[in-house]
Amino acid sequence: MNEVAAPYTHHHTIALPFLIMIRCILRSFIITLISSIVIGLVILSSPLNAHAALTPTSGNPLRETINNLGVSVEFNVSDICTLPVYGVYQPGEDRIVICQQRAGQLDGVEYQWTERDSVVLRHETTHILQDCNSGRRGDNHLFPLYPTLEDLRVYLDGKLSEDDMIEIETSYRESGADDLVVWLEFEAFATQNNISDDAMAERLQRVCKNI
């Protein structure tokens, strides 16, 4: 996550059409996931918005912070990367899997990074933050970082356009996501292009400290 990806081009006040789609203040903000369930970044056409410039593979402060929490960062794992995803966070297994843009084959080997890979890492790190925000990381419970509709509206404003939100919701609901998963993904997509690696590492240390 060395280079911050280009921000979204739409920066108007969000009317929040997803308020209707979500239908209610969530019955419960806690999501229980069995260990085989993953929170993943599905392949979308617009919200990833990453540059193709190469980024260094070593000395990344975010990767170091993730590893220090006891979460592994793995690459090009065949049983994950044959799915239509760029990456996943598996809270029950304490691992992130990145399906790299330049991977020659799904052999578990780390290839040279592009900025897209860094964006994916920021996205999945947001899910670690949500995991810590439940009070106990790795227990298969994720809790929103912005737990009220007003909090979420303010955070998304200027980060995701209405079209982005519609595309995210449609894609995840087609994969079987419920209201809370959509909520969690809105937070992750809004974060991935709008924070530096250093800032994300600092936030991870702060939120997950003593968790």
State residue 178's pLDDT score: 92
Cross-strand pairs, 73: 96
Asked whether residue 158 is domain-assigned, the answer is yes
Quote the pLDDT of residue 11: 29
Residue at 98 is within a domain: yes
Asked, for residue 40, whether it belongs to a domain, the answer is: yes
Q: What is the DSSP string of 72-137?
A: EEEE--HHHHTSSEEEEEEGGGTEEEE--TT-SSSSSPPPPEEHHHHHHHHHHHHHHHHHHTTTST
Domain that holds residue 119: 26-208
Establish if 156 belongs to a structural domain.
Answer: yes
Residue 65 falls within a domain, yes or no?
Answer: yes
Give the pLDDT score at 209: 87
pLDDT at residue 88, as a whole number: 94
State how beta strands 72-75 and 39-42 pair.
Answer: unpaired
Q: Is residue 125 part of a domain?
A: yes
**What residue has token string 């209405």?**
162
Residue 19 forms part of a structural domain:
no
Q: Is residue 106 a contact partner of residue 116, using CB atoms and an 8 Å limit? A: no
Confidence at residue 105, expressed as pLDDT on a 0 to 100 scale:
86
Q: Into how many domains does the chain fold?
A: 1
> Which residue stretches of the chain have pLDDT < 50?
1-37, 50-53
> Is 5 a domain residue?
no
